Amino acid sequence: MKQIGILNLQGAVSEHITMLNHMGNIHVSLVQHPQQLATLDGLIIPGGESTTISRLIKQNGLLTPIQQFAQQGKGILGTCAGLVLCGKATTHSEVELLNLMDICVERNGFGRQINSFETQLDIPNIGQHIPAVFIRAPYIAKAGENVQQLAFVDQHCIMAQQNNILVCAFHPELTNDNCIMQYFVDLC
C-alpha cells in the first residue's frame, strides 16, 4: 500500500483525496508539518494560489523538508500552482520556489480565470484522450535538458517530469480519469 500525502495548506485538497480514495491500495494523509512527511512514499502539491501556498510552506517550516523529501527520491506531483512551486524560476518573484525541477514557469500563462478551458491530451506512456482542466493555468516557458516534456498546448509545455518529480499545469483531480494519478503513484 502506497502512502501518499497531500499538502494541506490551501487549494484543491479534497478533490485529490477523493480521487486517491477511489483508486484503492493507497493510504492518504494530509500534510501541514514537516514530521508528517516521514512515512510517505509521495507528496502532492495541489493547485491553489501559489503565492499563498509559498508563504504557508515557509511559515510551517516545510521548505527544506520538502526539498529533502525530493532528494530522497520520493515522488512529488505538482498540479497547477504546485507546478509553479516545483520550479527553479518564475516571472513573478514574490513566490519562493521549492527549486525541485529545472524549469522556468510563466504563472497564469494562459490568462485569467475567464480564460480557463478544458481539452484532451495524448501523453506518451500515460494515455490518450486524457481530459485536462486548465484554471488560470501556468505553463513551462523553459525546461532544462534533464526535464522530459510530456505534453503541450499551443506549443507551451504543460506537463513534465524530472526523475521523481512530475508536474502538470492542469487539474487531473477535477476529472474522472485517474491515469495521471496512477502514473504518479507508480513513480512513488
Catalytic residue, from 106, 157, 171, 188: name it.
Answer: 171
> Does the annotation place 55 within a ligand binding site?
no
173 in active site: yes
Catalytic residue, from 15, 80, 86, 106: name it.
Answer: 80
104 in active site: no
Q: How many CB atoms lie within 10 A of CB 18?
A: 11
> Does the annotation place 135 within a ligand binding site?
yes
Task: Kindly report the backbone phi and psi dihedral angles of residue 135, in degrees, each rounded to the nearest multiple of 5, phi listed first.
Answer: -125, 110
Task: Kindly report the backbone phi and psi dihedral angles of residue 59, in degrees, each rounded to the nearest multiple of 5, phi listed first.
Answer: -60, -35
> Does the annotation place 49 within a ligand binding site?
yes
> Does the annotation place 107 within a ligand binding site?
yes
171 in active site: yes
Catalytic residue, from 15, 157, 168, 173: name it.
Answer: 173
**Which residues line the annotated binding site?**
48-50, 107, 135-136
Residues annotated as catalytic are: 80, 171, 173
**Which residues line the annotated binding site for L-glutamine?**
48-50, 107, 135-136
